[in-house]
């Protein structure tokens, strides 16, 4: 991107900084189009100006300031045929992850009950598939119905979906489907070659057409540059509509994967990414996902200040560690942050 274009975008962004009475400008409009240059300009703002704008946006769209607690359970671990460079579940990499079969319904239900008892609002089920077979979808649909009956909001991430599979999951009561873009389209081939960017967009289209909400985000710190991070956020923000839930992961390098030795991203750059996700997708739940533990307490606090209002909650996050539930609750209490009230299911099964 030329320097003149970036400077012009920075001037435009600065001119639209909110006044104390909250004049959000374009981020208040659901039909906004965020160019890569405009998102990159947000990254160039002074840190405190960026956080101020993000906090103003957050207060307008989430006046209660509550935090959503989501629990993620791996219902089928490892053995994945994909080559995602960050993922220890890929069968081709030599990691500590052992492949396992799909969990029984009773095991999933036990985990969901424990999650609800610990205060979770949303229960997410993840399976290490490239794409599920129809028989797999039917088994997951049974899990969804059982979890919904507990009064929990449901989410699943199962890989690529066909249109009919998305309809089956919707009929079972699935609220959200997670399918991340992971990064910008131009950086994507450096991370994944077994699935195209368009494959991911097609699955999101099937999910929307089925009437489900979208959970879609990605990972920062994989070696992408700032412009590529801006392009990633721009693509998310310009989805029509943008995702209702946006998980932002901080890369956790895992021994045995191609990104095991990846240099760590500056923590403040991660905070900036959270703030920009909040500004460009103002009504979304912006979730702190993998990598929270490595960031430490102070950076997590800055992320909440920047507009994060959802966390993955519990002892494990698929195959990586996660801060313990009690530690999370203590931190939220210290900050005076409220926990979102438990989701009330309208489905009776």
Cβ 184 vs Cβ 231: under 8 Å: yes
Residue 313 in tokens:
């909650």
- Number of alpha carbons in the 13 Å side-chain half-sphere of residue 165: 21
Cβ 312 vs Cβ 288: under 8 Å: yes
What are φ and ψ of residue 199, in 5° steps? -55, -45
Strands (DSSP E) contained in 243-282 are 245-250
Q: Which residues are catalytic?
A: 80, 84, 87, 124, 155, 215, 287
Secondary structure of the chain: what % helix, strand, coil (to 5)?
40, 15, 45
CA–CA dist 77, 153 (Å, integer): 22
Helix (H) or strand (E) holding 4: helix 3-15
Q: Using CB atoms within 10 A of its CB, is residue 162 exposed (0-12), middle (13-18) or buried (19+)? A: middle
Residue 129 in tokens:
């598939």
- Residue 143 zone, left/alpha/beta (φ > 0; ψ -120 to 50; rest): alpha
């Amino acid at each position: 991107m030329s320097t003149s274009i970036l400077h012009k975008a920075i001037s435009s962004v600065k001119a639209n900084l909110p006044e104390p009475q909250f004049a959000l400008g374009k981020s208040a409009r659901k039909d906004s189009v965020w160019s890569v240059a405009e998102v990159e300009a947000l990254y160039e703002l002074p840190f405190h100006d960026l956080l101020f704008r993000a906090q103003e946006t957050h207060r307008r769209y989430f006046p209660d300031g509550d935090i959503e607690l989501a629990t993620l359970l791996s219902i089928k671990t490892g053995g994945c045929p994909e080559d995602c460079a960050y993922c220890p579940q890929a069968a081709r990499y030599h990691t500590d992850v052992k492949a396992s079969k799909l969990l029984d319904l009773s095991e999933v239900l036990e985990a969901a009950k424990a999650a609800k008892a610990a205060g979770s609002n949303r229960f997410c089920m993840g399976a290490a598939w490239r794409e599920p077979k129809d028989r797999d979808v039917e088994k997951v649909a049974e899990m969804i119905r059982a979890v919904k009956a507990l009064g929990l909001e449901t989410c699943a991430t199962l890989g690529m979906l066909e249109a009919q599979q998305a309809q089956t999951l919707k009929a079972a009561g699935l609220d959200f489907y997670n399918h991340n873009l992971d990064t910008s389209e131009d950086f994507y081939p450096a991370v994944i070659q077994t699935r195209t960017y368009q494959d991911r967009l097609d699955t999101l289209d099937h999910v929307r057409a089925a009437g489900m909400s979208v959970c879609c985000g990605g990972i920062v710190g994989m070696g992408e540059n700032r412009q590529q991070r801006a392009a990633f956020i721009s693509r998310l923000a310009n989805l029509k509509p943008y995702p209702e839930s946006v998980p932002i992961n901080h890369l956790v390098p895992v021994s045995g994967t191609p990104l095991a030795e990846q240099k760590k991203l500056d923590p403040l750059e991660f905070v900036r990414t959270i703030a920009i996700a909040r500004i460009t997708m103002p009504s979304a739940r912006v979730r702190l996902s993998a990598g929270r533990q490595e960031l430490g307490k102070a950076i997590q606090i800055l992320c909440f200040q920047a507009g994060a209002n959802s966390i993955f909650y519990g002892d494990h996050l698929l195959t990586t560690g996660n801060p313990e539930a009690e530690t999370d609750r203590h931190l939220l209490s210290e900050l005076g942050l409220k926990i979102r009230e438990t989701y009330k299911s309208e489905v009776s099964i």
